[in-house]
Structure 1
Amino acid sequence: MTDISLKLSAYLDGELDAAEARSVEAMLETDPALQAELDALIAADALANDQFDAQLDQPVPLALAQKIKALPVGSPPSRPASRPVWGALAAGLALFMFGGMGGYVLKDRISPAGLQFAQAGWLNDIADYHAIYASQQRHLVEVGADESDHLKTWLGASVGADFSIPDLTGFGLTFEGGRLLVANGKPVAQLMYRQADGTVIALCLQSIPDGDTSSPPAFRQQTIKGFDFVSWQGGGAAYVVVGPGGHSGLADIAAQAAREV
């Protein structure tokens, strides 16, 4: 895996500072091959996650379950240290997970070169959350819009980034409230808006190190798991507006949100 591939992985995971992220985005705008590599990383991660989730619903093969059940609770001191039973079990499980005994795909998979393959990071997690919560009616949010001051204080402290709640009524969006999520192992503030026809648009933010408050945001559009995303960074946080695939005006909504958040 090349240095730029590793940097793409860090970019997707939100691990780059603002200056490094802008550098990657500039290269993506002028290098179609690099953009194709980024799209392939996102698509491969989504596919692997879907396969991993599907495997969780399948039973453990009987032969493996019997071997695990037959293992002793402890090992006597005289057992040779060079081949502990748990080491053998771990090796067997690794072969099972990677080999042909069911085709399991690990979430943190390894490439043929032995390096970890990049994951789509927090945006992939946001897509999963949006698929669940956008269909909710009564329980769309955890804290309602009538407690906006509390929402800003609570989520701001939890995420580690101050923010304002953008007014998106000009796009026919009513602010419904928000909730706390966890994406890529870090807290995320999610603000939910709804159109008159029931369409839900979410604005999510997560703190990042070394945020740049001086430069205008660089917006990035992509589709993940059937949802459209417009993401950007600024002021010590990473932001994303997410809506259903093909939603018109999502980029304009993101631009307005970036000005007010």
Structure 2
Amino acid sequence: MTDLSMKLSAYLDGELEAADAEMIEALLESDPAAQAELDALMAADEMAQEQFDVLLSDPVPLALAQKIKSSPVGMAPARPASRPVWGAVAAGLALFIFGGMGGYFVKDQISPSGTVVANAGWLSDIADYHAIYSTQQRHLVEVSAAESDHIVNWLGATVGVDFSIPDLTEFGLSFEGGRLLVAGGKPVAQLMYRDADGAVIALCLQSGESGAAEAAPDFKQQTLKGFDFVSWNGTNAKYVVIGPGGKSGLMDIAALSAREV
């Protein structure tokens, strides 16, 4: 584990002095790689907690139960534990998760090009929401397309980003309406589209750091939790188009969205 990884871990655990914590927060604001590593640590912590829950729900092995039953009450253990058993379990899980940056945890956090997803934190939340809402029919959206002006005013004010609703009919997509999400602790505007086959494509936007306008957006493609993403940054917002895994034309949809949104 690198020195930065150790500091990020201590930052998550609230173990840093105020000055060190401020340095880490400044680094996270300016260094996408550091933010990506923090996102990975947060996801690993969540996965470890899930593993703990599974272990707690498992029955005690028969051999261990018999050994405990045969031990005299109050008998001291032959060797005092050098650390709590859950500490050992946590360490083992950490090694499993981060060992070589491979295995189960990382497979859903890697883009097709093999690079680690830079914004796995908010994209992971988007994927979780999309897995639920994209299967809905009547309740796909909170506000229907018939109230497009209200969607723009409501979501724009809530998210803090002015936007327009892209017309994606040339891709066979009809605008269904919008809803409000929360990802990474911040509000997200989600605009929902559906094609003739019923597949749902969504454009999501969230406020981001202010910056100079780019001549051409830097689109990033990646796959997470079975969904394909195309993400990019604007002058004061970040955007992502999400669709079913293997959906063709997603990059073209994102390119038009970037021009019109």
Aligned residues of 1:45 and 1:120 also touching (Cα < 8 A)? no
Deviations 1:109-129 (A, max 9, x none): 999xxxxxx972101111111
Distance 1:132 1:51, change over 3 A: farther
Structure 2 match to 1:146:
146
Distance 1:189 1:96, change over 3 A: farther
1:216-227 matches, within 5 Å, as 216-227=216-227
Structure 2 match to 1:82:
none
Superposition deviation, residue 99 in structure 1:
3.2
Between 1 and 2, higher relative CO (CA 8 Å, sep ≥ 6) is seen in: 1
Distance 1:139 1:119, change over 3 A: same
Distance 1:136 1:175, change over 3 A: same
Structure 2 match to 1:180:
180
Instruction: Measure, in 2, the Cα distance between the counterparts of 1:124 and 1:228.
Output: 12
- One-letter amino acid matched to 2:89: G
1:134 aligns with 2:134: yes
Instruction: Measure, in 2, the Cα distance between the counterparts of 1:48 and 1:154.
Output: 34
Instruction: Measure, in 2, the Cα distance between the counterparts of 1:137 and 1:52.
Output: 34
Give 2:89's match in structure 1, choosing from 100, 106, 109.
Answer: 100
Distance 1:160 1:199, change over 3 A: same
Structure 1: where are the runs of 5+ without partners? 8-14, 25-37, 64-93, 112-117
Aligned residues of 2:221 and 2:231 also touching (Cα < 8 A)? yes
1:71-220 matches, within 5 Å, as 95=84, 97-100=86-89, 120-220=120-220
Aligned pairs, number = 196
Superposition deviation, residue 210 in structure 1:
1.7
Structure 2 match to 1:67:
none
Instruction: Measure, in 1, the Cα distance between the counterparts of 2:86 and 2:191.
Output: 38
> What is the TM-score with the length of structure 1 in the denominator?
0.63
Structure 2 match to 1:229:
229
- One-letter amino acid matched to 1:244: P
Instruction: Measure, in 1, the Cα distance between the counterparts of 2:85 and 2:50.
Output: 17
- One-letter amino acid matched to 2:88: G
40-49 or 200-209, larger mean C-alpha shift: 40-49
Distance 1:227 1:41, change over 3 A: farther
- What SS does structure 2 have at the residue aligned with 1:100? helix
Root-mean-square deviation over aligned CA pairs? 3.9
Distance 1:235 1:243, change over 3 A: same
- One-letter amino acid matched to 1:100: V
Structure 2 match to 1:253:
253
Structure 2 match to 1:29:
none
Aligned residues of 1:211 and 1:233 also touching (Cα < 8 A)? no
- What SS does structure 1 have at the residue aligned with 2:213? coil
Distance 1:45 1:3, change over 3 A: closer
- One-letter amino acid matched to 1:242: I
- One-letter amino acid matched to 1:232: W
Structure 2: where are the runs of 5+ without partners? 9-27, 61-82, 100-117
- One-letter amino acid matched to 2:180: L
Runs of 4+ in 1 over 6 A off after TM superposition: 40-48, 60-63
Instruction: Measure, in 1, the Cα distance between the counterparts of 2:221 and 2:178.
Output: 23
Distance 1:249 1:61, change over 3 A: closer
- One-letter amino acid matched to 1:163: F
Identity %: 57
- What SS does structure 2 have at the residue aligned with 1:121? helix
